[in-house]
Chain A
């Protein structure tokens, strides 16, 4: 190892972003934080309760740190339990907001809606979901298998059967498609 090899190694370690895959759940009051903590721990998620960063200006003086990629599943579990979070933000950049832009592509017989990294395509006449593309989380192939070939009205929603942020993006595309195609 050269004279600066050790320093290089330390520097590389320092640069690693250890919290980049974590998010904060923000709640109205500490009672909800405690309930949510118990529920999520019981279901096996790696979480911890901590003080909020200064950028978060809503909620109480405790937040729950959680695996951000599983935002869709975790928020659904909390909603079903009657303790929905006020806000969900990435740990490293609490001011970031989810994508709220859609891209629409009209192929004539087919319509495609894109939200973030996820694309959903339906055949306009039958309103059948014919394709799902994009995304990189492991629930995407599963969601595609469950939704493709089904009608827009009858397909299970990504919110019900998905887990991840890719599933969340697909949910947004699905809602936008329904808004555009269903009466």
Chain B
């Protein structure tokens, strides 16, 4: 089963842990309805759409309200430190949490003692804290964008805000940045670098590039990275090998974006509803490729 850990932008939202679902365009957890705009709700919605299309159960969500002060994240960390000892998830995605090295170490230590160890995917704040604490290699997959890749490649930077200028913003330097991130131990077993082109890489270098369909507007739309991570987590949880799941997730996210006919003003909810169709298309395309003599 897939577990997704993150935050929602509501101050009063308490720590909540339950199986999630979609109802009338909202994310539902217990009796709570959460609008799907971006962030962890968008990630969860994308994962749900993917899992349902694959005929699997919806993911389990661990959520708390946090608007940036870190108070909600702190409560969720405390809860997880108790709760995670008793769980047996196959895949866990950590997302928008306030980075805190001490709590990160405690949670990671609990998960690493599990047998079998769950597949660990980190994005957003939890990817930042994994790198800050020097524990990136304990993870199976990170999903940085180009700016975040430069941060992973900068062995000194504690946050993307402090990434040194000479590492920033050059698409043609992606192979070097990936190599540098692995050289300094600041990458997970796999990287899915999202951007104009999506790169799937591991310590041996770039394994695949996915660049079609290309919708320039996707870069401006908040939450399209979150949907990519949600689709990916769902595919991995269905038993697909990490590298293959990363390539397929990139294709599905791009197709879903393409079907939404996006402009830079499009909101991510308009894209999420196209994920089932995009997944079916991508799976069909993959079967044709796999079956090719």
A residues adjacent to B (C-beta < 8 A): 15-18, 20-21, 23, 67-71, 73, 90-93, 96-101, 103, 105, 107, 109-110, 112, 114, 116-117, 119, 121, 123, 130-145, 148, 162-169
Contact = CB atoms under 8 A, between A and B. Distances in A.
Given A133-B221, A144-B222, A163-B68, A114 B147 contact: yes
Contacts of B198: none
10 contacts: A20-B133, A21-B100, A90-B158, A96-B164, A99-B168, A133-B222, A136-B96, A136-B128, A140-B39, A163-B68
Contact of A93 (B8, B105, B157, B224): B157
Interface stretch (B69-77, B78-86, B174-182, B240-248): B69-77
A21 B125 contact: no
User: Chain A: interface secondary structure?
Assistant: mixed
B136 to A, nearest CB: 11
Interface string B147-176: 110010000111111111100110000000
Interface string B200-236: 0000000000000000110111111100000000000
Contacts of A98: 161-162
Contacts of A21: 99-101, 129, 132-133, 158
A114 to B, nearest CB: 7
A140 B96 contact: yes
Interface of B: 7-9, 37-40, 66-70, 72-73, 96-101, 105, 123-129, 132-135, 145, 147-148, 151, 156-165, 168-169, 185, 216-217, 219-225, 263-267
A67 B102 CA distance: 12
Across the A-B interface, the 8 shortest Cβ-Cβ residue pairs: A139-B68, A136-B124, A163-B68, A141-B39, A20-B132, A130-B265, A142-B9, A117-B160
B98 A116 contact: no
A97 B123 CA distance: 24
B8 A141 contact: yes
Nearest to A97: B162
Nearest to B154: A96
